[in-house]
Amino acid sequence: MPETRPYQHHYLKAACANCSVLELCLPIGLTSHEVERLDTLIIQRVKVKKGAALYRAGDPLRSLYAVRIGSFKTSMLSVDGREQVTGFQIPGEMLGLDAISDDRHTCSAFALEDSEVCPFNFAQLEKLALELPSLQHNMNKILSREIVREHNLLMMMGNMNSDERLAAFLLNLSQRLSIRGYSSRNFVLKMRREEIGSYLGLRLETICRGIAHLRDSELVEISGRNVKVLNLDGLKQLVAGCHREPPL
Amino acid sequence: MPETRPYQHHYLKAACANCSVLELCLPIGLTSHEVERLDTLIIQRVKVKKGAALYRAGDPLRSLYAVRIGSFKTSMLSVDGREQVTGFQIPGEMLGLDAISDDRHTCSAFALEDSEVCPFNFAQLEKLALELPSLQHNMNKILSREIVREHNLLMMMGNMNSDERLAAFLLNLSQRLSIRGYSSRNFVLKMRREEIGSYLGLRLETICRGIAHLRDSELVEISGRNVKVLNLDGLKQLVAGCHREPPL
DNA sequence: CGTGCTTTTGATTATGATCAATAAGTGTGG
DNA sequence: CCACACTTATTGATCATAATCAAAAGCACG
């Protein structure tokens, strides 16, 4: 990711009401009148070029972002400059939730492809949430859902071997894409092997070997970054009947 | 943890205003009038016996809980019955945040010693947060802080070896205890080696060996569950100059 | 159409898991 | 209070998994 300049401002007039990811984003369950009020927070949508940072660790929290088009990775840097990928975000998913803790982003967010986000000014969002109970409730749920996501990640890190983690990763991505109306059986990995590895706590070579194993067992067909799921149940079984010891 | 009966109800009249962990808990930064209103949500404090569950995975979300006295572990069960510990909570820390996502607890919470919690009815809490902006803001921060905590855990799982993870765990516990006014140099581990291991993605034997290593390098003195930190900076250095490869 | 980067695959090594046996605590009932 | 049973902790020996090192093959983009 050599592109380091701040994100580009391509101003677009926003309109939650006719946004295609409306039902996956902050406004879930809001009345059309409430959505209109939320709309007023989004000054403009923002385009982020592939490889560019939407924000960086240490930046003050200005806005939360909903991914509208494209995809992102969020990552932290360790003291000695190693990257830990903490998540991949696709349309309808939120970015920046970790920053509320300390009014400062703890992760950086990079676009994995040319992308577009809706920024919600956080101060205004909190203010509006005081007036719209369902918005407040949504925010709580979205924050809590992120906690649950990370619990599952921890579970994976603690109890799954490399092949199982990879299978779980593909399955999770497949399911999230399917919710967004994309194919759950054919999709493209926008991230590098190294980034998948970092996310799963593995080296990139281990990811390559895992892919080879899944291919050998005819669960998926992966060539380059193109994924075709051949045996969804098989994948699920691999993830479910997982863990380092057999059940006694 | 053989004790499986639901938590015991020892009713105590609650009063945030003169609670010793007030400034670490939900009411941070609230005016005394606001704290009074929050007080009305806590019908009574609840005592939980060592080993008993405060709630279990699958239970409907009724309340969030602030630990007042004692300590807890939260854990999830995998399909084949293996435990993944997701956190340890000490006084002033919140329990149940993951349940907001789906109105259902995804973890179980067990008392590691005889303990006491303050339950906040969640529905009432959300309602009250609409009227008290600083309460709403606190809730957002607490949720976000939990996300940051888990990011750091992921970082640990992904980039640290066993000794470094153990050192990071001890350091983190030491710091949290110190914030609560306990000694940061002398404390007692209320959890078993196995639970520490599960939390850190390691086996209990590896924890024992790690303890032996830290003892050999004269960073800490650990006998049984009693911890004495001998060289805080040394511990920090081990955690900071960590990671599987040396910095290039 | 090279020149990076990224991915793949192979060979070897290191770390932590597993298996096993012993020791140290903890709590209970006599 | 002690003896016993049981849980928890420690340490050793061996093994398995994934990391590391290395080299070649694909790709993508200027």
The two three-digit tokens of residue B51, written as one number: 């080993």
- Average pLDDT score over chain B: 90
**Parts of chain A with a pLDDT under 70:** 1-14, 241-248
In the prediction, which pLDDT does B10 show?
46
pLDDT surpassing 80 at residue B110: yes
pLDDT confidence tier of residue B97, bands split at 50, 70 and 90: very high
Partners of B76 on chain A (C-beta within 8 Å) are 151, 155
Per-residue pLDDT for B83 more than 60?
Answer: yes
Q: What is the pLDDT, as a whole number, of residue B13?
A: 55
Q: How far apart (Å, rounded) are the C-alpha atoms in residues B126 and B111? A: 26
Cross-strand bridge partners of residue A47: A116
Whole-number pLDDT of residue A242: 55
Torsion of CA A220, A224, A227, A228, to 10 degrees: -60
Query: Which residues partner with B120 through β-bridges?
Result: B64
φ, ψ dihedrals at A72, nearest 5°: -135, 160
A165 with A244: CB under 8 angstroms? no
pLDDT (0 to 100) of residue B54: 97
Nearest to A80 among B80, B148, B243 (CB): B243
A157 neighbourhood in chain B, CB within 8 Å: 154, 157-158, 201
| Separation between the CA of A189 and the C1’ of D16 (whole angstroms) | 30
| B6-65 pLDDT, tens digit each | 444 444 556 788 888 888 888 888 888 899 898 888 888 999 999 999 999 999 999 999
pLDDT band at residue B153, thresholds of 50, 70 and 90?
A: very high
Per-residue model confidence (pLDDT) at position B242? 56
**DSSP-assigned states of every residue in B75-121:** EEE-TTS-EEEEEEE-TT-EE-GGGGGTTB-SSEEEESSSEEEEEEE
Q: What is the mean pLDDT of residues B87-112?
A: 97
Q: What is the mean pLDDT of residues B74-99?
A: 92
Question: Residue A204: how many CB atoms within 10 A of its CB?
Answer: 14
* Strand C atom within 7 Å of A204 CB: yes
A97 → closest Cβ in B84, B101, B144: B144
Lowest-pLDDT choice from B37-41, B163-167, B189-193, B244-248 = B244-248
From chain A, the residues in CB contact with B136 under 8 A are 126, 129-130, 136
Residue A100, min C-alpha distance to chain B (Å) = 6
Q: Do A84 and B159 touch (CB under 8 A)?
A: yes
Contact A129 B136 (CB under 8 A): yes
Out of B97, B151, B240, closest to residue A86 by CB: B151
List, in order of start, the domains of chain A with CATH numbers. 16-154 (2.60.120.10), 160-240 (1.10.10.10)
Give the distance from residue B47's alpha carbon to the nearest chain A alpha carbon, in angstroms: 26
Q: Which residue of A has its CA nearest to B132?
A: A130
* A140 min Cα distance to partner chain B (Å): 7
